[in-house]
A and B are shown apart, each in its own frame.
Chain A
Amino acid sequence: MLTRREALLAGAGWLATRAGANAGVPAGATVGEEVLGALPGKKALIQRAFRPPNFETPLADLQPIYTGNSVFFVRYHLANIPYVDAAAWRLDVGGPSAQHPLALSLRELKGNFEHVSINAVNQCSGNRRGLFAPRVPGVQWGNGAMGHALWAGVRLRDVLHKAGVAADALEVVFNGADGPLLPGTPDFVKSVPIDRALDENTLIAFEMNGAPLPHWNGAPARLVVPGWTGTYWVKHLTEIRIQPAAFDGFWMKSAYRIPTGAFATARFASQETPETTPITEMVVNSLITSPAPATHLRRGEPARLAGKAWDAGAGIESVEVSLDGRQSWRPAKLGRNLGRFAWREFELPLDTSRSGPIEVAVRARSRNGSTQPEKLTPNPAGYHDNIVQTARVEVS
């Protein structure tokens, strides 16, 4: 039976229910009470914040190799989020280092450039922030501020070349239709280095998983920067500026930064200071999707460990699993290689012939030689939690 509150929620087009404890969070870790909420056009997701909307994909929905559009995570910084009219939409491409500024309709974007598609992981910089110890402020994400999709669109570089990239171009700046509620709040605007903007894998995407981008994932067109964290994947793109100087907006200079030198990821030299530098690439990582946390297996029941591994684009070399509390490690079987920016599935049968706990640990290794560490690298914003993944499975 619906309570009065639930009836009101349903009437308002929203659904909210109490989720089972710890859904989507590894055994032994909690992010606090979880509430499920459904945004218009989305299925129920873990509601980390209502406004601006920050909704996380539940673990069960991270099991398929492609994360469905209706369950793909939603992340906004600012609450003024217009429904963009695709017919009236224009993308302005200009800036001081653009030789022939232009404006494109969606029809022109789709019609005038070669179509390309790429499998890529989109992971929020703050994914797993809620699992940090000691805790750090920010949206308290569990494991589901990420997903994997087939992104389709056009190469950013083809559009930039049409606008004419001058020799002095240093950064390319991206703005979207979403914005602040107060005039004093800095608009969400991001930049990437010119070489990343001109990389053949960086796209202006208008489709994910074969369907138009959902509103909450950036319709009608968004940036896709494979290998780099979600903060650069600007949604509802409206403006692209090629410029000869470092962009000095709040979301580059003050937010999304890590201690300089703390991680072996790509540098963003034009934005670097001796103390801090922008987060850039993802670090090698994995997620156990099965068994779900707190699963009890019956003795003799066939069971398998399964999950996903990913990195910033070198590709996954191997996934090692320990089933005895890290005393010995063995390779998991890897799934099909869907591209170097894609999720790589892994699996291993679990021996359920004896009663008792199985202490599972998983570590992925990138082709660049990096592997998942045992300990977190402390950083104030709670980024890059890629520690060895663990689970405790009870057999009885």
Chain B
Amino acid sequence: MRGARYPLAVLFAVVGAAAAPAMSALAAAAEPTELREGAGRDLTVGRCIICHSVEYIPSNAPAMNRAAWQKSIQKMKEKFGAPITDEEAKQILDYLDANYSGKTG
């Protein structure tokens, strides 16, 4: 009956909000978009939320280090077709490694 593809509506709301950081509190109402403050955060959020909400990042942090993030970004770019340039991939890697590399041992 319902023809609307509701997740797309949510996606658009969030993409719009993420482009304007002042509205991020509103965006959080629809889905988590908050990542730690740091160089490269807006780029990281902007690229990742094209396909998925960003809580995948903090929830995976305990399993991640720089090499694991590099592999993950490469997978998104090469296997999943994420529109990320090489230069952006480097900035995203630096941001994720600095803020979400929680793997010990």
Contacts and interface: CB of A to CB of B under 8 A. Distances in A.
A185 B81 contact: yes
B53 interface: yes
B59 A79 contact: no
Interface string A4-47: 01001101101000000000000000001000000010000000
A114 interface: no
B68 A181 contact: no
A83 B4 contact: yes
A263 to B, nearest CB: 21
A51 B7 contact: yes
A134 interface: yes
Interface stretch (A136-144, A157-165, A276-284, A304-312): A136-144
A11 B103 CA distance: 38
A83 B6 contact: yes
A51 B3 contact: no
Contacts of A137: 60, 63-64, 68, 72
Interface in B22-64: 25-26, 28-32, 50-53, 55-56, 58-60, 62-64
Contacts of B32: 50
A65 interface: no
Interface residues of A, number: 37
A254 interface: yes
A377 B78 CA distance: 29
A135 B63 contact: yes
Given A5-B29, A181-B11, A32 B3 contact: no
A182 B81 contact: yes
A275 interface: no
A274 to B, nearest CB: 22
B82 interface: yes
A12 to B, nearest CB: 6
Which of B50, B58, B68, B80 has its CB near the most chain A CB atoms (within 10 A)? B80
Closest 9 CB pairs of A and B: A184-B81, A8-B29, A135-B63, A50-B53, A50-B31, A51-B53, A83-B2, A137-B63, A135-B62
Interface of A: 5, 8-9, 11-12, 14, 32, 40, 48-53, 78-83, 85, 134-140, 180-186, 250, 254
25 contacts: A5-B28, A8-B29, A9-B29, A11-B29, A14-B30, A32-B58, A32-B62, A49-B52, A49-B59, A50-B31, A50-B32, A50-B55, A52-B7, A53-B7, A81-B7, A83-B4, A138-B60, A138-B63, A139-B59, A140-B59, A182-B50, A182-B81, A183-B81, A184-B80, A185-B80
Interface of B: 1-8, 10-11, 25-26, 28-32, 50-53, 55-56, 58-60, 62-64, 68, 72, 79-83, 103-105
